[in-house]
């Protein structure tokens, strides 16, 4: 690659990223001898855990381990921060899930501009949660887009794209890991093309754009009155965070219990007497059967609020049998 590099020196990059998804791209860049990472910018440490102690971002941890200088400014729009970025004299900016908007002055600080790694096939699913929203919508395919950044939200011209199939049992967690790896690979390819002068940016079809808003905890609530495959998509999209849940109570017991449901599988067609959200236990395969609009949803694992995750069999012994068998109902299962 060094022979084809018109700069005659390593491509100098300033990297902007925060969550685990961005670490794969940072690692991919750091492994290339023809690339020099001048600095990493990431969001500030945030309180986490029982002690609420400030925790470094995954990108900060990875950067420090690699010996890369890290900055965590409160705002990228601050003139002192902009001057500091310019002083680094980057050839290129790389942005991967930074968690904030890069001002126009920052985007102009590098002659090659800024490349962004986005976890969808733009213009679909612009925004903060493209992985989860694609699964939730039942998309059969997603992918990675490398785009040239402008001042809009994921609106810049497309440099490279590669599709990735979404499996029927893929969750936001498993798809996240696959897309993170693909993102790193495609980013290196884009940087090579940039230096070789073979990039041909393509304007997005803005009239076909869709938006993937940030997840909230309440987004995890399950509506059992929907069809089973829609419920399945929803539960997979919400795993591991915020987690798919519903409020349940036995017929003859006061109060409700919030249950987090782990991804399961589609079951048999619904019996006429089963109300959406009702639960019984299928001993033949040790699964809970939860009624949806058209068929049952089979659950092998769930977690009561303030408790530990348990198997369907353990839930049957600890909750259903003590509540006189399968005559149960759910509450709060509708929006």
Q: Sorting pLDDT into bands at 50, 70 and 90, what band is 267? A: very high
* Mean pLDDT, the chain, whole residue set: 92
Written out in words, the top-level CATH class of the domain with range 217-331 is: alpha beta
> pTM for the complete prediction?
0.92
Q: pLDDT tens across 154-199, in order?
A: 999 999 999 999 999 999 999 999 999 999 999 999 999 999 999 9
**Is the per-residue pLDDT at 28 higher than 60?**
yes
Neighbours of 12 (CB within 10 A): 18
Q: Sorting pLDDT into bands at 50, 70 and 90, what band is 252? A: low
Is 217-331 in the same CATH topology as 11-208? Answer: no
**Is the per-residue pLDDT at 278 higher than 80?**
yes
pLDDT at 206 (0 to 100):
96
Q: Where are the domains of the chain?
A: 11-208, 217-331
Q: Which of 140, 161, 260, 142 is nearest to 212 (CA)?
A: 142
More confident of the two residues 100 and 16: 16
Under 8 Å between Cβ of 157 and 165: no
pLDDT at 51 (0 to 100):
76
Across 118-127, 170-179, 298-307, least confident range: 298-307
The dihedrals phi and psi of 209, each to the nearest 5 degrees, come to -75, 150
Fold of domain 11-208 = Rossmann fold (3.40.50)
pLDDT at 125 (0 to 100):
98
**144 burial via Cβ count (<10 Å: 0-12, 13-18, 19+):** buried
In angstroms, rounded to a whole number, what is the distance separating the alpha carbons of residues 196 and 198? 5
3-state secondary structure the chain: CCCCCCCCCCEEEEEEECCHHHHHHHHHHHCCCCEEEEEEECCCCEEECCCCEEECCHHHHHHHHCCCCEECCCCCCCHHHHHHHHHCCCCEEEEECCCCCCCHHHHCCCCCCEEEEECCCCCCCECCCHHHHHHHCCCCEEEEEEEECCCCCCCCCEEEEEEEECCCCCCHHHHHHHHHHHHHHHHHHHHHHHHHCCCCCECCCHHHCCECCCCCHHHHECCCCCCHHHHHHHHHHCCCCCCEEEEEEECCCCCCEEEEECCCEEEEECCCCCCCCCEEEECCCCEEEEECCCEEEEECEEEECCCCCEEHHHHHHHHHCCCCCCCEEEECCCC
The β-bridge relationship of strands 301-304 and 257-261 is antiparallel
Enumerate the β-bridge partners of residue 55. 46
Provide, rounded to the nearest whole percent, the portion of the chain with pLDDT above 70.
Answer: 93
Under 8 Å between Cβ of 247 and 258: yes
């Amino acid at each position: 690659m060094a022979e084809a590099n018109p700069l005659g020196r390593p491509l100098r990059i300033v990297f902007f990223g925060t969550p685990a998804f961005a670490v794969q791209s940072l690692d991919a860049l750091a492994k290339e001898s023809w690339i020099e990472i001048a600095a990493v910018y990431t969001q500030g440490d945030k309180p986490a855990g029982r002690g609420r102690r400030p925790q470094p971002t995954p990108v900060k941890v990875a950067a420090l381990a690699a010996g890369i200088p890290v900055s965590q400014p409160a705002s990228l729009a601050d003139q002192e921060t902009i001057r500091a970025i310019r002083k680094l004299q980057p050839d290129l900016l790389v942005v991967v899930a930074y968690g904030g908007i890069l001002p126009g002055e920052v985007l102009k600080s590098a002659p090659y501009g800024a490349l962004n790694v986005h976890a969808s096939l733009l213009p679909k699913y612009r925004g903060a949660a493209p992985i989860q929203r694609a699964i939730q919508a039942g998309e059969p395919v997603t992918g990675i887009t490398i785009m040239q950044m402008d001042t809009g939200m994921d609106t810049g011209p497309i440099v490279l794209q590669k599709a990735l199939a979404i499996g029927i049992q893929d969750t936001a967690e498993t798809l996240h890991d696959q897309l993170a790896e693909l993102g790193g690979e495609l980013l290196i390819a884009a940087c090579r093309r940039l230096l070789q002068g073979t990039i041909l940016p393509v304007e997005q079809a803005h009239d076909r754009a869709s938006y993937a808003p940030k997840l909230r905890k309440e987004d995890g609530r399950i509506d059992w009155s929907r069809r089973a495959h829609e419920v399945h998509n929803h539960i997979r999209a919400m795993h591991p965070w915020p987690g798919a849940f519903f409020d349940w109570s036995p017929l003859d017991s006061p109060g409700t219990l919030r249950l987090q449901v782990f991804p399961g599988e589609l079951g048999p067609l619904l019996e006429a007497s089963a109300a959406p959200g009702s639960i019984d236990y299928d001993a033949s395969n040790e699964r809970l059967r939860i009624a949806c609009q058209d068929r049952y949803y089979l659950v092998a694992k769930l977690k009561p609020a303030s408790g530990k995750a348990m198997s369907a069999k353990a839930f049957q012994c600890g909750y259903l049998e003590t509540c006189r068998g399968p005559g149960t109902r759910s509450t709060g299962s509708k929006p």
